[in-house]
Amino acid sequence: MKTNGLEIRLSQTLLCTALFCLILGGNAYGEDSCITCHTDGDLLEENLADTENKTSALQAGSG
Amino acid sequence: MAPLEPQEKVLVSEDFLDSVHGELACVDCHSGDDTADDKEGAHEGFDPHPSINNPQETCGECHEEIAETVPFSLHATLSTFPGYLAKRADDDTWDKVDHGRSRHCASCHTSCGGCHVSRPQYAGKGFVDGHVFSAKPDPVNQCTACHGSRVGNEFFGSRGQGDVHLRKFNMSCEDCHSASEMHAAAPDGLENRYHLEQAVNCRDCHKDLQYGSVRDHRIHNNKVQCQVCHSQTYVNCYSCHTGTDDQGIAYFINNHEFEGMKIGFNPDRIPGNNYEFALLRHVPVDLELFDSYIKDGFPRFDVSPTWKRTSPHNIQRRTWQNATCNNCHGQRDLFLAESDLLDYEKKANFGVTVADDQIPPKRARVMELDIDTSNVNPARIVSAKWLHEHLADESVVVLDARNEEAYEAEHIPGAIHLDPNATQGLRTDVDDAIPLIIEDDETLAETLGEYGIARDDHIVVYSNRGTDAGFLLGILDYAGADNISILDGGIIGWEEAGFELTEEEPDWEEKIFEIKSRKHLIVDSEFVKSNMDNSEVVIVDVRVMQQSTGLTGHSLAERPGRIPGSVMLPLPALYMDDSFIKSAEELLWVLRERNIRPDRTIIVTCNTGNWAAAGMFMLRYLGYPDVRLHDESWINWTDL
């Protein structure tokens, strides 16, 4: 079967797109995503303060 | 459950990024702005709890059917709880009562995240495993993080022996409580969790018991709830009161808790649970529960009993009450009586109490248990009455083994404060070459003498939980003291007997403790290792089972786990949590059932030797002739 030039170019575009996605690993993260901070334990430790204890000192007994 | 550092709570792992859920963008579930370059910008519009706030649009994108029902599940809504409170309130009081409920009782609700990703909100939140989604909830960090004080303590052996489903079959919560039960939408007006169509029942696995080989099943079928025969003692709570402190934080206090067991008439007979008799647990609802919100909030208090049907999660095939028929039949104390009720709850519990003539009568012919108590040393336990009568005796030294705060608040008159967990000179330091083992003779003798103790004194020790007193008594026993006793019931029993307490610190003089240490009582890890396969030796691990099964570890141990071949018998099997000691017959029977026999060498082990020393004291009280303390215990074992 003969294929015309348009069909060839479309196939190539689709192939490149597929390869591009494969290279990126399929994740939806951009370069500046949440995981930049949330996978860096040292960074989190420097920037997160101890949260105030919200349990009353009067709390006693089994719940 | 160890608290998490702030960064641990939100640290995402590589394992999560490699997982199916990790292929989604964070903002797909959590919103926020993943293009921002600072924390503030990134967290603009951020939702930390998408499975609570928006389950259908987040989890429901893939888990459509589950997300439709979970928002209406019992875990999400706690819907049966307000039902009981509403029954006791009326139209005039309900709004205020419900407001109190929402501030104090409703914090335990959770959704998908709190069972599959993070610790629940009530337990302080934080990723269990770096944001990895687990189909099976974590029994320590999730299930019993909320269901801890009753279920968790009973299941793992913080009270009693723990549950055979864990010990023998390594079962966890989801092995009985299926996803269909957890995810099910609770119908409007559901009476309680037992009425949920998907609720688990023993007979789901244990089928056709009435046709099996166990005669007692045929006799008691449909008459007696399974747990009546197969549960151990459990906690009962009294008089919850709520309030708001001066910082505006809501709190509750239970005025009284005790470990016990009561059989009563089943207040909730439904198909599948239509037993005449059931185990009842006292719940802490009180007339004044929400008094800080509205006085007399429960004008219809009596409509519902305060002794409720319960299913303690501490099942054993053989228990003391099923050891022989007459351990249950004819036992007035085991059945809920009107005299067990407080004045304000007599009417509420009218239908569940068992009158004298309603107790199943003693059986004429029963199998004898043949328990030999002739070697029990009864002097090792003293009652509050005895101690009160002998408090002024010069030869009696009373030691309070609780922490400093508890001692300073009040203590038995004349009691010297000696907290074995905090006192220098009883055990080596945590930084020493072999940490937390009993000190050398010279140091130990000097320390005991400084606290006014001579070897020949009659030394009586008490605490809140008997285990701390037992620990100190184990050290004293090792040091050569012969006349040592634990106060039955501890300080709680002393108070219940009506005897006075004081804040006044006693004066005492230092003495010379002429130490005669019983070195044969202590064995090291090499000895234990060389006897692991010795059939004449039984190694008893007295830790709670979340540790002995390896679910959690000790902070000083290199890894979780237990000594191969050791028998798991949590120390609370021998010490009740309010310091009352069960009868010697019952304790000896429990040990025999677990094949911990007096004709063997018993080595008691734990994490640091603390509970092991308490276990040694109890076994020697019961007359076991050859008990050894693995003083190095697990934290040093893992160094081998």
Q: Judge: A28–B24 Cβ closer than 8 Å, yes or no.
A: yes
Q: Are the Cβ atoms of A34 and B42 closer than 8 angstroms?
A: yes
**B603 forms bridges with which residues in the sheet?**
B539, B628
Which of A35, A37, A40, A50 would best serve as a mutation to test chain B binding (most B beta carbons within 10 A)? A35
Provide, as residue numbers in chain A, all residues whose Cβ is less than 8 Å from the Cβ of B30. Answer: 34
> Hey, is B629 helix, strand or coil?
strand
Q: Do B148 and A35 touch (CB under 8 A)?
A: no
Residue of A nearest to B26 (CA): A34
**DSSP 3-state of B207:** coil
Which tokens sit at B392? 């002024």
Contact call for B149 and A54, based on CB within 8 A: no
Q: Is B382 helix (H, G, I), strand (E, B) or coil?
A: strand
Contacts of B110 in chain A (CB under 8 A): none
Measured in residues, chain B has a length of: 640
Closest residue of chain B to A42, computed from CA coordinates: B7
Locate B173 and state its tokens.
Answer: 């919560």
Q: Do B11 and A41 touch (CB under 8 A)?
A: yes
**CB spacing of A28 vs B252 below 8 angstroms:** no
Q: Please name the residue of chain B whose CA is at the shortest distance from the CA of residue A47.
A: B7
Question: In terms of Cα–Cα distance, which of B101, B206, B157 is closest to B545?
Answer: B157
B108/A63 Cβ within 8 A? yes
Interface touch A61/B5, C-beta < 8 Å: no
Whether residue A53 lies within 8 A of chain B, CB to CB, comes out as no
CB atoms B26 and A26 under 8 Å: no
User: Taking CB atoms and an 8 Å cut-off, how many pairs form between chains A and B?
Assistant: 97
Chain A residues in contact with B121 (beta carbon < 8 A): none
Model pLDDT, residue A53? 58
- Give the chain A residue nearest B240 (alpha carbons): A61
What is the pLDDT, as a whole number, of residue B392? 94
Band the pLDDT of A62: cuts 50, 70, 90.
Answer: low
**Which pLDDT does position A19 carry in this prediction?**
43
| 8 Å CB contact of B7 and A57 | no
Answer whether A56 sits within 8 Å of B250, measured CB to CB: yes
Q: Are B531 and B603 in contact (CB under 8 A)?
A: yes
Is the Cβ pair A34, B34 closer than 8 Å?
A: yes
Which residues in chain B are closer than 8 Å to A60, comparing Cβ atoms? Answer: 251-254
Q: What is the pLDDT of residue B639?
A: 65
Buried b (16+ CB within 10 A) or exposed e, B430-440: eeeeebbbbbe
Contacts of A26 in chain B (CB under 8 A): 23
Strand order from edge to edge, sheet including B416-417: B381-382, B484-487, B458-462, B396-400, B416-417
Cα–Cα distance measured from residue B12 to residue B9, given in angstroms and rounded to the nearest whole number: 9
In this prediction the ipTM stands at 0.74
Would you state the pLDDT for residue A63?
58
Q: So what's the pLDDT on residue B430?
A: 92
Shortest Cα distance from A37 to chain B (angstroms)?
9
Residues of chain B with Cβ-Cβ distance to A48 below 8 Å are: 6-7, 10
Which candidate from B7, B27, B252 shows the least CB-CB separation from A61?
B252
Q: Is B374 on the interface with A (CB under 8 A)?
A: no
3 state DSSP class of B417:
strand
The ranges of chain B with pLDDT < 70 are 639-640
Q: If you measure CA to CA, which chain A residue comes closest to B8?
A: A41
Classify strands B458-462 and B484-487 as parallel, antiparallel or unpaired: parallel
Give chain A positions within 8 Å (CB) of B240.
Answer: 61
A23 has a pLDDT exceeding 80: no
Smallest CA–CA separation between A23 and chain B, in Å?
14
B106–A contact, CB cutoff 8 A: no
Q: Helix axis angle, B610-621 relative to B466-478, nearest 10°?
A: 80
pTM for the complete prediction?
0.90
Q: Residues with Cβ < 8 Å from B361, sequence gap 6 or more?
A: B329, B330
Of A35, A51, A57, the CB nearest to B12: A35
Cite the DSSP H helix spans in B500-632: 525-530, 545-548, 584-593, 610-621
Find chain A residues with C-beta within 8 A of B32's C-beta.
Answer: 34
Residue B35 contacts A where some CB pair is shorter than 8 Å: yes
Q: Which long-range contacts (CB under 8 A, 24 or more apart) does B385-391 make?
A: B385/B497, B387/B412, B387/B460, B387/B487, B387/B494, B388/B494, B388/B497, B388/B499, B390/B458
- A-proximal residues of B, 120-159, CB under 8 Å: 122, 146, 148-150
**Integer CA distances (angstroms), B401 to B29, B418, B473, B532, B570, in order:** 51, 5, 10, 33, 20
- pLDDT digit string (tens) for B161-182? 999 999 999 999 999 999 999 9
Distance CA B182, CA B161 (A): 27
- The answer for residues whose C-beta is within 8 angstroms of residue B131's C-beta and 6 or more apart is B12, B13, B16, B21, B22, B117
Which residues does chain B have within 8 Å of residue A44's beta carbon, measured at their own beta carbons? 6-7, 10-11
* Cβ-based contacts of A54 with chain B (< 8 Å): 249
CA distance A47 to chain B (A): 9
Are B235 and A62 in contact (CB < 8 Å)?
Answer: yes
- A22, A34, A44, best to mutate vs chain B, most B CBs in 10 Å: A34
CB contact A31 to B (< 8 Å): no
Contact yes or no for B36 and A39 at CB 8 A? no
Supply the pLDDT for residue B206: 92
Provide the 3-class DSSP secondary structure of residue B250: strand
| Crossing angle between the packed helical segments B80-88 and B94-104, to the nearest 10 degrees | 140
Whether chain A has a CB inside 8 Å of the CB on B23: the answer is yes
Whether residue B252 and residue A34 make contact (CB cut-off 8 A), yes or no, is: no
Dmax (CA) for chain A in angstroms is: 84
For residue A7, the distance in angstroms to the closest alpha carbon of chain B comes to: 32
C-alpha dihedral (B179, B185, B190, B191), degrees to nearest 10: 20
Chain A residues within 8 A of B28 when measuring between CB atoms: 28
Distance from CA of A18 to the nearest CA of B (A): 16
Please name the residue that has the structure tokens 């990703």: B117
